[in-house]
Structure 1
Amino acid sequence: MKKIPSPVIAVLSENLPQLCSHAEINNLFMHADAPGEPPEETKSVKTQAWLKRINDHCDQPLEVLGRLIESFMEIPDHVEESVSLFGVDIESQSATFKKKLTASLERYNLRYLQGGYISDGSTAPSRSLSALIKGRNVPAIEAEFNRSLENVHSEPREAVSAACNILESIFKIYIEDEGLETPTKQDLQGLWKVVKNELGFDPQRIEDDDLRRILSGIFSVVDGIGAFRTHASSAHGQGRKLYTIKPRHARLAIHSAHTLALFVLETWDEKKQR
């Protein structure tokens, strides 16, 4: 169970009193299913006490936090714009609050996802992949990476599509950068065949039996994710059979794709160093 970090509590305790009345703060916390009755304190102390109570008594404090900050993190674009006062542009309080809250969450590998969800940085492969792609200046990969995580709760079909697109983007960039012949069929399986052969991903050449089994399992992920996108994601229309994708299914596809993507990029880097 991950608790709400103290700096996040501090940001909320400092800014909510400036944006909300006592009644509005009470309504926010009750809407988020915060436990107990409203503390009889000043707005700042009330906010801090209630957040600490959430940490102490809730099974999933970050779920409550997501619902609590949803209206502030999803403010319309026109509300976020700065206002002009005596000819000087001043950023709105709501925009400033959102930026402070986002920065405070990021310090602890947390990020707000649309719909009132807080991601705890996803899996270790996802965090490592995020760090790896940020240093490559490849907007296409980074965009699909963000899209997969941002839509896992609200649009799991979209998240599955993005998970597949991450692999396709990496494979296409590898083929282009290495000057390889582009396959006639540029679907996920066609691109993967070129990349795995070039990088020497042949389980039969691995002497260690255990490692060979792991590699064989990981590589079957490509076929699985490709088929999953074809049959169940937002990338294609649905036939008579309608797939019901839940966030846990999307996370399975995302984490699998991120694990393989990280392995491909790390192997590519090692090959260039040699």
Structure 2
Amino acid sequence: MEHRFDDHYTEAASLQNLMVAIAQGGQEGEADYVRLRQALIGDPTIEPLLPIFVKTCRTKLQFWGYIQPISKTYKGRREHIYGAFQRLLDFLERDGRAPADKNVTGVLEKFDAEHVHAAWAKALERRTADPEGAITSARTLLESVCKHILDEEEVAYDDKDDLPKLYRKTAEKLNIAPSQHTEDVFKMILGGCTAVVEGLGTLRNRLSDAHGKGKVAARPQPRHAELAVNLSGALTQFVLSTWEARNER
């Protein structure tokens, strides 16, 4: 069952309040701390937004050891905790993802490559705050999926192959290359997918943080990042769904 983002908001707010209580000397239960922490860490989409102390403090005692030296006052500890949770709560309050994001995440949940989950999570997280990073992650996502499928299918490729070349090899293996179809409508749609892949590579090369910039350089805006992430997510979903259907035959 899909874990709704309003559930995560409640869990994050509850964990924040629990940690504030612990930081002020409260005797809140260990079981609640562990349960709430695990519920949040278990979702790769929000894991990058978690405060570092949530990731590293597995028990209430460990968190107490972390928070004590942060400030001698309860106020200082509260402010530290509230500040660390702000990005996560803001993200969840907006429901975190558009419907398309959830569809892609649903497909990726069946996919056990951790680096693919990480690329998608970073792309989602960075769309507004770090458009350059989001564009880089969008391309990394598609590259990682193509390489994983090629590895599984024992198709050779060079580590220096760029995204368009990796996608062409993957598409040919999955029978979704335009040249493998005769009907005009399929050739047009699949040709559009190839054009999107080439466009993602060009957009990333021109706008992302993968290359150095001169004094006068175009800076990507959130709308550019939104476009890149949505295109990459849609293609990733299509490629993985096609591969899954092929393996079920």
TM-score norm. by structure 1 comes to: 0.60
Report the residue type matching 1:218 in the other structure: C
| Inter-partner Cα distance in structure 2 for 1:135 and 1:178 | 17
Is structure 2 residue 230 aligned with structure 1 residue 251?
no
1:163 corresponds to which of 114, 120, 138: 138
| Inter-partner Cα distance in structure 2 for 1:161 and 1:126 | 17
Report the residue type matching 1:138 in the other structure: A
SS at match of 2:127: coil
| Inter-partner Cα distance in structure 1 for 2:88 and 2:16 | 21
Where do residues 21-100 of structure 1 align in structure 2 (5 Å cutoff)? 77=53, 81=57, 84=61
| Inter-partner Cα distance in structure 2 for 1:172 and 1:179 | 10
- Aligned twin of 1:192: 167
* Shift, 1:121, TM fit: 4.6
Is structure 2 residue 238 aligned with structure 1 residue 266?
no
- Aligned twin of 1:214: 189
The structure that is helix-richer by fraction is 2
Report the residue type matching 1:139 in the other structure: E
- Aligned twin of 1:233: 208
* Shift, 1:120, TM fit: 2.9
Is structure 2 residue 113 aligned with structure 1 residue 138?
yes
The structure that is strand-richer by fraction is 1
In 2, are the aligned partners of 1:114 and 1:150 still within 8 Å (CA)? no
Report the residue type matching 1:207 in the other structure: E
- Aligned twin of 1:35: none
Report the residue type matching 1:131 in the other structure: G
Classify 1:11/1:146 alpha carbon distance in 2 versus 1 (closer, same or farther; 3 Å): closer
Classify 1:148/1:14 alpha carbon distance in 2 versus 1 (closer, same or farther; 3 Å): closer
* Greater Cα radius of gyration, structure 1 or 2: 1
Classify 1:189/1:240 alpha carbon distance in 2 versus 1 (closer, same or farther; 3 Å): farther
In 1, are the aligned partners of 2:133 and 2:208 still within 8 Å (CA)? yes
Measured against aligned partners, the alpha-carbon deviations of 1:207-258 in whole angstroms (never above 9, x if no partner) come to 262x443332222110111111111111111135412211121011000001
In 1, are the aligned partners of 2:131 and 2:221 still within 8 Å (CA)? yes
- Aligned twin of 2:153: 178
Q: CA RMSD in A?
A: 4.1
In 1, are the aligned partners of 2:143 and 2:163 still within 8 Å (CA)? yes
* Shift, 1:184, TM fit: 6.9
| Inter-partner Cα distance in structure 1 for 2:247 and 2:206 | 37
| Inter-partner Cα distance in structure 1 for 2:60 and 2:100 | 42
* Shift, 1:128, TM fit: 2.1
In 2, are the aligned partners of 1:163 and 1:254 still within 8 Å (CA)? yes
In 2, are the aligned partners of 1:113 and 1:150 still within 8 Å (CA)? no
Report the residue type matching 1:243 in the other structure: A
Q: Does 249-258 or 193-202 show the bigger shift? A: 193-202
Q: Percent identity?
A: 24
In structure 2, runs of 5+ residues without a counterpart are 22-48, 68-76
TM-score norm. by structure 2 comes to: 0.65
Classify 1:125/1:219 alpha carbon distance in 2 versus 1 (closer, same or farther; 3 Å): farther
Is structure 2 residue 93 aligned with structure 1 residue 152?
no
In 1, are the aligned partners of 2:145 and 2:236 still within 8 Å (CA)? yes
In structure 1, runs of 5+ residues without a counterpart are 21-72, 103-111
Q: Tell which has more relative contact order, 1 or 2 (C-alpha 8 A, sep 6+).
A: 2
* Shift, 1:164, TM fit: 0.0
| Inter-partner Cα distance in structure 1 for 2:52 and 2:177 | 50
| Inter-partner Cα distance in structure 2 for 1:269 and 1:6 | 30
SS at match of 1:153: helix
Report the residue type matching 2:153 in the other structure: E
| Inter-partner Cα distance in structure 1 for 2:169 and 2:226 | 27
